[in-house]
Amino acid sequence: MGGKLNIDDILFITRAVSVAYGLSAVACTGAGIFTLWYAAPDIKFPFSSASGVWTGIFSFVIFVLGNKTVKGYNIDYPSSSKRKVIAFYTFVIMDITFGILHVTFSAQGFSYCNTEMRIGGLYCNAEERPRLLLMEGFNIAFGVIITLLSVAVTIYLSLRRKINILAGIPTDSRSVSDYVTP
């Protein structure tokens, strides 16, 4: 069933995904900070949640965990990295929820400002409304990217038991050393 899995390929994908998390974290945190800036001085609920900031910080933690996992990985003794691998995988799964919440809060803020533009009202900062709508659009986009990235990483590591291979847990009758190319 398919080609032989190689631990180097799994580590390369993990590093690439970690870099993607790092870039997404910086963009998401930046958009979250600007959203708070443009929503000031009277910040109300969807904007006061600061979902962009905490989603970005959480994604940055995944970036750090992924890099530590790859850098400290010992091919001869892979189970020594088991805690890092499991922590990385757990945080990726949790980031799906963070991303969905971020998209939800951002969409709600976008909807409030957009509705207010059409019917009038004072829910958004009137002077900064166009910038706030733009930032909420960016927040929605970054939240979707982070959510889809987390789902893709979860599926990738789950298929063919790559998470077990990476954590040094023997699968079936083969040992982990069967996945290492000489």
Distance CA 143, CA 4 (A): 35
Q: What is the pLDDT of residues 139-153, one digit of tens each?
A: 999 999 999 999 999
Here the tokens at position 107 are 């969409």
- DSSP H helical segments within 40-80, as ranges? 45-48, 51-71
Distance CA 19, CA 151 (A): 16
Q: Which residue has the tokens 């971020």?
A: 102
Using 50, 70 and 90 to split pLDDT, how confident is the model at 1?
very low
How far does the chain reach from its first CA to its final CA, in angstroms?
21
Residue 180's pLDDT is 56
CA-nearest of 119, 109, 146, 112 to 34 is 109
CB 66 within 8 A of CB 14: yes
CA-nearest of 169, 173, 146 to 78 is 169
pTM: 0.82
Distance CA 131, CA 35 (A): 8
CA-nearest of 70, 68, 84 to 13 is 70
CB 128 within 8 A of CB 38: yes
Q: What is the pLDDT of residues 102-142, one digit of tens each?
A: 999 999 888 887 776 566 665 676 777 788 888 889 999 99
Question: Amino acid identity of 46?
Answer: P
Q: What is the pLDDT of residues 13-31, one digit of tens each?
A: 999 999 999 999 999 999 9
How far, in whole angstroms, is CA 2 from its chain's centroid? Answer: 29
